[in-house]
Amino acid sequence: MLTGFSQVAGQALYLDDLFSFFELKPHIVSPPDARPFPSPIRQGFVFEDVGFRYPNGERWAVRHLDFTLKAGEVLALVGENGAGKTTLVKLLARLYDPTEGRILLDGHDLRAYDLDGIRANLGVIFQDFVRYDLTAAENIAVGRMALADDRPRIEAAAARSLADDVVRRLPAGYDQVLGRRFRGAVDLSGGEWQKLAIARAYMRDAQVVILDEPTAALDARAEFEVFQRFKKLILGKTGIIISHRFSSVRMADRILVLVDGTVEASGTHEELLAQHGRYAELFELQAAGYR
């Protein structure tokens, strides 16, 4: 009995954690009289001297970011690991607010806009996307849960991200449970999971589509196909691609080179090569590997 009591007392401490979790309030909220998200975006995004530190981080993840993402433009971000590429995207999607400086969208601070509007209009696939032990269709539908029963829409998104080929090979097609957890489930290769994850971005009618190294597990040919499609599909929309492969990066209208959390250079592939800077050096390094 005594052991029983002490166990109850011990477990009760965890209840405290649970209730404090319920009491958490989001830091990022819409202002009272929020602006509706512009449709279409007219000018684009402007980063003005943006700096950011993670709440638990002691150093600046990005600092003095000054650049423009014009409406309808596809921008590529290149830089070594830890350069701040993902952080930049998180700020743009307002998953965090800048610690200093500000981000403007069509001339107004991003914080002034309706948060649901931002969420609906930005499709981001992060490098560490989640693999759900659900069906193939559900794994795509998480991009927009309201359309979970809209099979034609899911199939269209799959066709756009080249996931349709992956699904076609599954015994139960779109109803195939994926992962390793359940009996009868089929696990996919890294590249196959990625194609499903990319389909999530196409589930939204997003005006801005961002792929953050979504292709790390894809081979060179598959990545080339995915990005070429991406470029075609988002025609007229605004996009960001993050990749370490120059064959993908050079498809962008403009390239930003990030070093230690700040933009070191920007321009087209040809312009950056002509500058003989870090971009040219990295390009040569990679090209040499293929010779």
Ligand X SMILES: Nc1ncnc2c1ncn2[C@@H]1O[C@H](COP(=O)(O)OP(=O)(O)O)[C@@H](O)[C@H]1O
Q: Could you tell me the smallest distance in angstroms from the CB atom of residue 8 to ligand X?
A: 36
Residues 207 and 37: their CA atoms lie apart, in Å, by 10
Order of strands, edge to edge, in the sheet holding 62-70? 62-70, 44-52, 100-105, 108-109
Whose Cβ is closer to ligand X: residue 3's or residue 81's? 81
Q: Does position 194 bind ligand X by CB under 6 A?
A: no
Cβ contacts of 166 within 8 Å, gap of 6 or more: 136, 188, 192, 195, 196
Interacting span for ligand X (CB under 6 A) from 15-23, 76-84, 96-104, 279-287:
76-84
Whose Cβ is closer to Mg ion: residue 86's or residue 207's? 86
Residues 88 and 251: their CA atoms lie apart, in Å, by 20
Interacting span for ligand X (CB under 6 A) from 74-82, 151-159, 197-205, 229-237:
74-82
Handedness of CA 134, 136, 139, 143 (dihedral sign): negative
Q: Does position 56 bind ligand X by CB under 6 A?
A: yes
Residues 235 and 28: their CA atoms lie apart, in Å, by 31
Residue 2 half-sphere exposure, CB side, CA atoms within 13 Å?
A: 0
Q: Does position 243 bind Mg ion by CB under 5 A?
A: no
Position among 76, 83, 199, 282 found at the interface with ligand X (CB under 6 A): 83
The Cα diameter of the chain in Å comes to: 79
Position among 74, 83, 86, 272 found at the interface with Mg ion (CB under 5 A): 86
Whose Cβ is closer to ligand X: residue 40's or residue 57's? 57
Whose Cβ is closer to ligand X: residue 63's or residue 144's? 63
- What residues make contact with ligand X under the rule CB under 6 A? 54, 56-57, 61, 79, 81-87
